[in-house]
């Protein structure tokens, strides 16, 4: 009997069904996968927001999928170091905080110099120089900066006007004087302190020292390169405390306290990341919406001629573990996500853009009132101190000695001398 060519047997039907079901799986199997270890915010600014999913074109061009593993800062950094210490890791990208970019960590990450030479990042020099320099570890670039928080000086314009102050300070000396004038009790309102500042972070006394041309630890790891400048810086902070221009609770003031005090009008000045501008002026949170403005921290009139404030900056970078399985795919992703176009798109999605040109983009600048001043600060910004194995202990010692001098338990000269004695043994040989 001749078989009907249109008749399908049960075996044929099952075979055809299995093939159809398998087709999408086979297509997916052909796509490569890039595993990324990051904070949740890093994923969000590349995939959500006004500019949309900025990874879509790269995924399509590379026929690749992205697998994001996100964690809070400390667990994220610990996981990255564990993964990079294994014989091999599935993670092709690991986000690295600048304070973790020690020589020891650098040895676990892929040196990027040859990749930058053979397949360069577009307009590499447009990325802020202080950020690029901080990722030069052991003579090699180990990561590409992608997100920053640079500090500026915030002030309450309404309070300045209330005290008859026509313009914000143009020098450190004017800042001290205005903070004194702005330490007062308004009629029918809570008292105002001229400036609120946390004692818990090295970045703030470092910026005061840089206003005099000094520093805590330089990028080439020189400790207190100008001790006199640091003495002057600590003396200024102490003078403000003694005058009541800093809160009585200076020693226990936190970063979030600074935000709250500015929003409530309890302080006229504070040093905070420029990215706080929107939060400080939010109508539902602030008593002075639209009245809190930002500027660069001013330098002293006694500073060396032409000195530019080097604002303290913290930032994230993308790195490739040295033991990653597909470094070419990882570098392709870093190049694409570091392009000028994607950097601007990520900024519109809420990222802190590391490229100076982004701040000139009309769409971004229109929605960011502090774009111009932040760009100026970023151009010369530097990390508070370089990363090294004992950096956390060094910062704790420095903060302790500064706080002791500000509270009158020692002199600024003693604080500098003790910092020198206690921190020097912690520096790399």
Domain with residue 36: its CATH number is 3.40.190.10
Q: What span, in angstroms and rounded, lies between the C-alpha atoms of 391 and 417? A: 18
Confidence (pLDDT) at 30? 61
Q: What span, in angstroms and rounded, lies between the C-alpha atoms of 209 and 202? A: 11
State whether 200 and 349 are in the same domain: no
Domains of the chain: total: 2
102: confidence class by pLDDT, cuts 50, 70, 90: very high
109: confidence class by pLDDT, cuts 50, 70, 90: very high
State whether 170 and 118 are in the same domain: no
Residue 79 lies in a domain: yes
Contacts of residue 78, defined as CB under 8 A and 6 or more positions apart, other chains included, come to none
Residue 120 lies in a domain: yes
The closest of 146, 171, 72, 73 to 333, measured between CA atoms, is 146
Residue 300 lies in a domain: yes
Residue with tokens 């890791």: 89
Kindly report the backbone phi and psi dihedral angles of residue 313, in degrees, each rounded to the nearest multiple of 5, phi listed first: -135, 140
Helices (H), 243-305: 255-264, 277-280
326: confidence class by pLDDT, cuts 50, 70, 90: very high
186: confidence class by pLDDT, cuts 50, 70, 90: confident
State whether 106 and 172 are in the same domain: no
State whether 159 and 287 are in the same domain: yes
pTM: 0.91
Strand ranges in 98-164 using DSSP code E only, listed in sequence order: 136-137, 140-141, 144-156
State whether 357 and 343 are in the same domain: yes
State whether 251 and 332 are in the same domain: no
State whether 246 and 265 are in the same domain: yes
Q: What span, in angstroms and rounded, lies between the C-alpha atoms of 353 and 20? A: 46
């Amino acid at each position: 009997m001749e078989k009907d060519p249109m008749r399908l047997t049960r075996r044929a039907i099952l075979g055809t069904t299995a093939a159809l079901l398998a087709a999408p799986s086979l297509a997916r199997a052909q796509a490569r996968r890039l595993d990324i270890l990051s904070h949740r915010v890093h994923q969000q600014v590349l995939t959500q927001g006004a500019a949309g999913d900025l990874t879509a074109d790269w995924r399509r061009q590379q026929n690749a999928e992205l697998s994001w593993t996100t964690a809070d800062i400390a667990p994220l950094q610990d996981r990255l170091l564990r993964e990079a210490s294994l014989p091999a890791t599935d993670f092709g990208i690991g986000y690295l905080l600048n304070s973790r970019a020690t020589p020891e960590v650098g040895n676990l990450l892929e040196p990027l110099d040859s990749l930058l030479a053979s397949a360069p990042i577009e307009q590499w020099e447009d990325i802020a120089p202080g950020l690029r320099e901080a990722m030069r570890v052991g003579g090699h670039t180990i990561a590409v900066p992608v997100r920053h928080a640079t500090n500026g000086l915030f002030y309450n314009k309404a309070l300045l006007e209330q005290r008859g102050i026509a313009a914000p300070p143009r020098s450190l000396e004017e800042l001290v004087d205005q903070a004194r004038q702005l330490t007062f009790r308004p009629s029918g309102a809570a008292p105002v302190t001229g400036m609120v500042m946390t004692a818990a972070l090295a970045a703030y006394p470092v910026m005061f020292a840089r206003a005099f041309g000094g520093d805590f630890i330089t990028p080439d790891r020189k400790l207190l390169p100008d001790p006199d400048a640091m003495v002057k810086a600590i003396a200024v902070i102490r003078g403000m405390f003694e005058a009541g221009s800093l809160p009585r609770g200076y020693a226990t003031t936190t970063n979030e306290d600074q935000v709250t005090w500015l929003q409530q009008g309890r302080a006229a000045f504070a040093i905070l990341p420029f990215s706080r501008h929107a939060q400080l002026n939010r109508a539902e949170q602030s008593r002075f919406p639209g009245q809190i403005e930002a500027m660069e921290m001013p330098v002293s009139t006694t500073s060396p001629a032409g000195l530019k404030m080097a604002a303290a900056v913290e930032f994230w970078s993308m790195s490739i573990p040295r033991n990653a399985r597909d470094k070419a795919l990882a570098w392709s992703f870093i190049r694409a996500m570091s392009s000028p176009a994607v950097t601007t798109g990520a900024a519109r999605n809420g990222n802190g853009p590391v490229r100076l040109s982004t701040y000139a983009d009309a769409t971004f600048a229109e929605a960011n009132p502090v774009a111009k001043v932040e760009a100026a600060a970023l151009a010369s910004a530097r990390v508070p101190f370089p990363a090294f194995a004992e950096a956390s202990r060094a910062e704790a010692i420095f903060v302790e000695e500064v706080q002791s001098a500000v509270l009158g338990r020692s002199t600024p000269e003693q604080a500098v001398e003790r910092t020198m004695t206690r921190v020097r043994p912690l520096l790399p040989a």
